[in-house]
């Protein structure tokens, strides 16, 4: 067995052992098509206030600028679909990915342990791990490595598992065997486009981020524009609408990660408790959560905006 084949098998075996749903590999290259797409997307100001999207343009398109002499991108999927959803009756909604502890930290810790074991097996090599934390086009690399296709809602979709999963990448200087891309299986379906209450899905695979509910409740630092009035459908953090209506998510299965389970507050709180939330309670509920990103002031702003929808 040659080294690329041997190392590829080790990565895939370890990924499965550490709980990743899938592991795919692609060869490092400059993303020429994505360069044109990203430039166009930024010119149309679809990124809204997410000015960080304008930074590190070249790094987003070439992993060699992130890891010197890199040869392979290993893409990984980690399931976060919950066994039970937070009750919606008399409640505000929160994206499923934020039910539990911050996925950045949880998955990075898993990858740290996994890479320790891999290095013990094959020796030292140069790599970096990424969990939605650097200028890398993770969905593009996941698509190239055969983990799924980019749906009309611009999410990566797996034929076997739908789209409720996190993506992570390992960029390394090892020569590995690349996987083949899979076909696009969205066909003529437009359920995600039809269901989006803010018309954020401009066309197939193109999202106007400035119109997205997730953007308004997480990324936006200023007041929520009037455009969103009566269109938020009770989402106080994130939005899952385009995923919830996707037919491929009928294949989603509950995750097995205890750290992604919703805490007791999320399971029992109603609208009144959310309206009365204090900084102290916010810090207790979301101590290890990705919701910290919007901060107490941001969550209060979102709740007040949703409350004003009802008057």
Under 8 Å between Cβ of 154 and 139 = yes
The CA distance from 236 to 239, in Å, is 8
The CA distance from 209 to 42, in Å, is 10
Under 8 Å between Cβ of 19 and 78 = yes
How much is the pTM? 0.95
- The 3-state DSSP class for residue 28 equals coil
Catalytic residue among 132, 173, 184, 244: 132
| pLDDT of res. 311 | 46
Q: Catalytic site residue 132?
A: yes
Q: What is the largest CA-CA distance in the chain?
A: 69
Q: Are strands 165-172 and 127-130 parallel, antiparallel or unpaired?
A: antiparallel
Under 8 Å between Cβ of 153 and 243 = yes
Under 8 Å between Cβ of 23 and 76 = yes
Q: Are strands 206-207 and 127-130 parallel, antiparallel or unpaired?
A: unpaired
- The 3-state DSSP class for residue 46 equals coil
- The residues facing 22 across adjacent strands are 77
The CA distance from 61 to 211, in Å, is 25
Give the helix/strand (H/E) hosting 110.
helix 103-122
The CA distance from 127 to 74, in Å, is 10
| pLDDT of res. 1 | 60
Apex CA 141: angle with CA 41 and CA 122, to 5°?
150
Domain limits, the chain: 3-172, 191-246+262-308
| pLDDT of res. 134 | 84
Q: Exposed, middle or buried: residue 45 (CB in 10 Å: 0-12, 13-18, 19+)? A: exposed
The pLDDT profile of the chain, 311 residues, written as one tens digit per residue, is 679 999 999 999 999 999 999 999 999 999 999 999 999 999 999 999 898 888 888 999 999 999 999 999 999 999 999 999 999 999 999 999 999 999 999 999 999 999 999 999 999 999 999 999 889 999 999 999 999 999 999 999 999 999 999 999 999 999 999 999 999 999 999 999 999 999 999 999 999 999 999 999 999 999 999 999 999 999 999 999 999 999 999 999 999 999 999 999 999 999 999 999 999 999 999 999 999 999 999 999 999 999 986 54
Under 8 Å between Cβ of 221 and 48 = no
Q: Exposed, middle or buried: residue 90 (CB in 10 Å: 0-12, 13-18, 19+)? A: exposed
**Nearest residue to 265 via CA among 291, 228, 242:** 291
């Amino acid at each position: 067995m040659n080294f690329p084949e041997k190392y590829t098998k080790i990565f895939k075996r370890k990924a499965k052992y550490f709980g990743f749903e899938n592991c795919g590999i692609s060869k490092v290259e400059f993303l020429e098509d994505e360069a044109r797409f990203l430039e166009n997307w930024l010119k149309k100001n679809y990124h809204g206030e997410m000015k960080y999207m304008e930074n590190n343009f070249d790094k987003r398109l070439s992993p060699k600028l992130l890891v010197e002499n890199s040869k392979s991108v290993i893409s990984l999927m980690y399931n976060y679909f919950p066994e039970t959803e937070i009750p919606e009756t008399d409640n505000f909604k929160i994206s499923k990915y934020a039910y539990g502890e911050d996925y950045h930290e949880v998955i990075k810790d898993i990858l740290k342990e996994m890479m320790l074991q891999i290095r013990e097996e094959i020796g030292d090599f140069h790599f970096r791990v990424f969990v939605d934390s650097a200028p890398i086009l993770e969905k593009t690399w996941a698509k190239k490595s055969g983990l799924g296709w980019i749906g009309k809602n611009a999410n990566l979709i797996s034929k076997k598992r739908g789209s409720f999963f996190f993506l992570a990448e390992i960029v390394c200087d090892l020569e590995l065997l690349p996987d083949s891309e899979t076909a696009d299986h969205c066909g003529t379906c437009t359920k995600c486009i039809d269901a989006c209450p803010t018309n954020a899905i401009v066309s197939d695979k193109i999202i106007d981020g400035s119109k997205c509910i997730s953007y308004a409740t997480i990324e936006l630092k200023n007041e929520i524009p009037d455009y969103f009035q009566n269109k938020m459908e009770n989402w106080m953090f994130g939005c899952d609408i385009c995923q919830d209506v996707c037919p491929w998510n009928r294949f989603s299965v509950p995750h097995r990660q205890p750290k992604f389970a919703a805490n007791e507050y999320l399971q029992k709180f109603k609208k009144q408790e959310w309206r009365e939330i204090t900084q102290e309670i916010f810090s207790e509920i979301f101590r290890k959560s990705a919701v910290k990103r919007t901060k107490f002031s941001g969550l209060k702003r979102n709740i007040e905006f949703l409350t004003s929808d009802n008057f």
